[in-house]
Chain A
Amino acid sequence: MSLLAVEQLDARHGLLQAVRGVTFTVAAGETLALVGANGAGKTTLLRTIAGAHRPFGGRILFDGIDVTAVPAYARLRTGIALVPEGRRLFNGMTVKENLLVAGAYGNSGPWTLDTVLDAFPLLRPRLNNRAGTLSGGEQQATAIGRALMTNPKLLLLDEVSLGLAPIAVEAVYRSLEALIKVGATILLVEQDIGRALGVATRVACMLEGRIILAKDAKDVTREQVTEAYFGLQRARRVTS
């Protein structure tokens, strides 16, 4: 059975419909990469799955339970954690406090302050620095660490490489690969198609609020994804 099932999900910002009838599943242990241009609805979809955005219609099932109406803080306890776009750390608090505050309200499990620091050793010397003073890569590590502290069954990652130096992106993806190796289930939003295909087991492409392509990563070519990314398939359909 799939860990996450999204059925006919609609999400809006006021009058703007950001997500239109999206249906997909994520199985345990899978890494699904969600790609698409800016404004395709990826971030809204992730926030809706995490409970930070209230859906307009449709259902979200997690572990077989309907969590559509469950608020974000309680959904976290069912095992969904989001690393939000732009990291959204508590900048006035130290790295340690950022990690502890999440740990206190999440589930217990393998991830503790120590194991998170083992996974992101670069944070150790920065523990007592305010999150706002860190470099981009350190902030991203803190944000992922903060999500891990809640011991999620499903980790949602929104644009983790955005605004980072290439070397920091490399480091972040190395830790992600390590996570995937130990069996984590990940739903990843990524602009960089190459990176996405590199770590994902499956790829879904979003365009104008809809999923227009969903395939196993090994069955899909970069060109197919690029076409879907820019809506070329649809454009061709319309002109032909």
Chain B
Amino acid sequence: MSKDSSFIVERSTRLSAAAGIAAAVLVVVLAFGPLLFSANIVDSLTTLFIYLILSVMWNALAGYAGLVSVGQQAFFGLGAYFAIELSYHGVGVYPALLLGALLAGILSLPISPLMLRLRGGEFAIGMWVVAELAHLLVVLDPLINGETGASLIALNAFSPDHRRAYNYWMALATAVMLLTVVFMLLRGRLGASVQAIRDDEDAAKSVGVRVLAGKRIIFFLAAFGCALAGTLWLATSITFQPNTYFGIQWTAYMIFMVLVGGLGTFEGAIVGGVIFFLIEYMFGATGVWYLIGLGATAIVFALFLPRGLWGTLEDRWRIRLLPVGYSLRMPSADADAPDAAAAARERRPTPASLDKHDIAASNSIPARPR
């Protein structure tokens, strides 16, 4: 009922171009952070960058590839562990941080064929088992002293001020790099194919999407990214305690950030990271109640605002600051085809297709997941 020629396919708008420039300016300003801000702020921003990395990685995994992992702490912990091992064996401490993360990322490659064949909840808990196993095996290493842990002593060769600045720059550079990589990947062919997989794996397969290959790239990227976050965390805290690094709380944080920001929206993961950072800053000291609040908020968002804050804004005002998808626009109102105009307004190329919700809601019985 629609004439294809009557739509304009857009990849970017004036607003998104402006947003891109603003982001670039922000990064340049942030690059001078250690020269501009107090030590406290530099430390806080470093933490924020690490959260952003985790949030964007988990969003790429769950929001785009449909892989809900509750075991990404496996790579977070392994990255840090490998860094300690490498440093202990004489590798320079900063190269060790990078190489450690890379090793953890590489380790994800033999794991992925096994895990990626699992679907939905099976994948989720399967990853959790991987994390538990990684934790148990790391503790067996005498270097780590069981749950007592070990320290990245080599870092003590640098003065605290230098360390702070280096950590900051490393975290900023890593966050910018990973954000850019994810942005480019999602804008490219991979973005369309992994989203097709998430929305309907069987259908994607039938139109020739190479399901496993697409998932594997995202899985590796997320493993490497989380491992980088782990080594950065190690660089800031120096000590490595297996219980902390392999703790399930990292997954709780990631889920919270992505759900609140907007599952499957690129900007949402960033927004969620910032919100989480602020909430932790304000309520982190309340301990248990803070965690209960995180869990409860995640439930509320998943149930009542599944597109998160950013996704909801996006739907309401059709803003795309950093567009990874395509949008269709009608050049003028087409009086002959009101249905088509309605379709163009409704059919957003972004995740969590609304039609699916409509159909599900129209059934008197809960729709069954595929």
Q: Enumerate chain A interface residues (CB-CB to B < 8 A).
A: 13-15, 51-54, 71-73
Contacts and interface: CB of A to CB of B under 8 A. Distances in A.
B339 A15 contact: yes
Interface of B: 339, 342-343, 346, 355, 358-359, 362-365
Contacts of B346: 15
Please report whether the interface of chain B is mostly helix, strand, loop or mixed according to DSSP: helix
B39 to A, nearest CB: 56
Contact of A15 (B342, B364, B365): B342
Contacts, number: 20
Contact of B355 (A14, A53, A73): A14
Contacts of B363: 52, 54
A9 to B, nearest CB: 14
A82 to B, nearest CB: 13
Please report whether the interface of chain A is mostly helix, strand, loop or mixed according to DSSP: loop
A15 B362 CA distance: 13
Contacts of A15: 339, 342-343, 346, 355
Considering residues B342, B346, B358, B362, which has the most beta carbons from chain A within 10 angstroms of its beta carbon?
Answer: B362
Contacts of A53: 362
Contact of A14 (B358, B364, B365): B358
A13 B339 contact: no
6 contacts: A15-B342, A15-B355, A53-B362, A54-B364, A71-B364, A72-B364
Nearest to A69: B364
B81 to A, nearest CB: 47
Contacts of A52: 363-364
Nearest to B347: A15
Considering residues A13, A15, A52, which has the most beta carbons from chain B within 10 angstroms of its beta carbon?
Answer: A15
Contacts of B364: 51-52, 54, 71-73
B342 A14 contact: no
Contacts of B359: 13-14
B365 to A, nearest CB: 8
Nearest to A55: B362
